[in-house]
Amino acid sequence: MDKFRMIFQFFQSNQESFMNGICGIMALASTQMYSAFDFNCPCLPHYNMAYGLGILLVPPFILFLLGFVLNNNISMLAEEWRRPHGQRGKDPAVLRYMFCSMAQRAMIAPAVWVSVTLLDGKCITCAFCTSVPVEALGNASHPLLSQGEIQRVLARIPCKEIYNGQELIANEVAVRYLRCISQALGWCFVLLMTTLAFLVRSLRPCFSQAAFLKSRYWSHYIDIERKLFDETCAEHARSFAKVCIQQFFEGMSTDLVAAHCHRPRKVSADMGEASKKLLGITDQGTMNMALKSWHRCKPPLHIHPPALPSGNGWTGEGQPPVHPSAPRRETAAYYSSV
């Protein structure tokens, strides 16, 4: 349990670790889904290819979209892309970094699905069974079958229990031929994905490390800023609700005192602290205005006030500002003759 707790804490440490954990879970889930999937080829000439290629390509597309849906940064990316410029400009490099980061993580589960499917070989066998070279592997000069009948017989290759074309081509030969091609494609796909990942990881720092660090930093900043803003809004909402509830019960107690002459209860000391957290925003319209202002014109990323001109009229061009000299310290020495 301690190991699982440590792994869970690592996944919760930051946004990237959390998304890496989600993508790993989705990759494992894709393999389990394929192993639990009951593959049934229709064994018909006009439907085999659609079914086989559909099983090969449609689930990866769904897993790719699901990877974007489970990524929390997709809403942040859309918000940052669509928001007005306001007092803060939008950096296209940061938006590209965020999109590429999400796309790379979302591609893990589809890549695992395609690799497992190709290495298993059922989809390729179902999709391309009618393209088996009968001239090289079987008896192409069968006198009793037309071209259409040959296609119908070859379409039954994945269905061993209903295959009746052993005189044309042996079922084991055709299945082994197609499965070897599928496995070769699967290993090539795995090698291609591994090579691309290696090149991206190893060559990117050699060309644009400074730009990469800048984009990564501001991407993390946008994520942290959004979390802190949500936490601040939640804290303000809690304080606002506490003050509203306290005022409601105070009004009720005042009415009870006037009606039944009961002694009013003491007001809780938390109400004063809650009022301080409101920061002067004490009505719905002001809060809505603050939220709209945050969306339309976010504050610039500059937390230091600009340098003020000094008394000698310096404007910041050419010469540095002249700071006022420190007060001169005077010392006195006393001599005595003995």
**DSSP characters over 160-178:** TTT---TTTS-HHHHHHHH
Mean pLDDT by 10 residues, the chain (338 residues): 56 59 78 84 90 93 88 82 84 88 87 93 92 80 73 89 85 92 95 90 78 87 89 90 86 69 53 72 87 86 65 44 46 40
3-state secondary structure of 68: helix
Q: Give residue 5's pLDDT.
A: 59
Residue 63 burial (10 A CB sphere; 0-12, 13-18, 19+): buried
Distances (CA, A) of 119 to 17, 185, 204, 326: 30, 8, 31, 79
Distances (CA, A) of 204 to 108, 188, 197, 207: 19, 23, 11, 6
Q: For position 316, what pLDDT does the model report?
A: 42
Contacts for 1 with CB less than 8 Å, ≥ 6 apart:
none
What's the burial of 142, exposed, middle or buried (CB within 10 Å: 0-12/13-18/19+)? middle
pLDDT value at residue 54: 93
Per-residue pLDDT at 113: 93
Number of Cβ within 10 Å of residue 95's Cβ equals 17
Euclidean distance between CA atoms 144 and 148, whole angstroms: 12
Paired tokens of 60: 């990866």
CA distance 253 to 259: 10
Q: How far apart are CA 172 and CA 132, in angstroms?
A: 12
Among candidate residues 208, 156, 182, the one with its CA nearest the CA of residue 43: 156
Residue with tokens 């409601």: 248
The per-residue pLDDT for 126 is: 93
Alpha-carbon gap, residue 295 to 281, rounded angstroms: 17
Confidence at residue 163, expressed as pLDDT on a 0 to 100 scale: 86
Distance between CA atoms of 128 and 180, rounded to whole angstroms? 13
For the chain, which residues make up each domain, given as ranges? 1-137+145-209
pLDDT at residue 146, rounded to an integer: 78
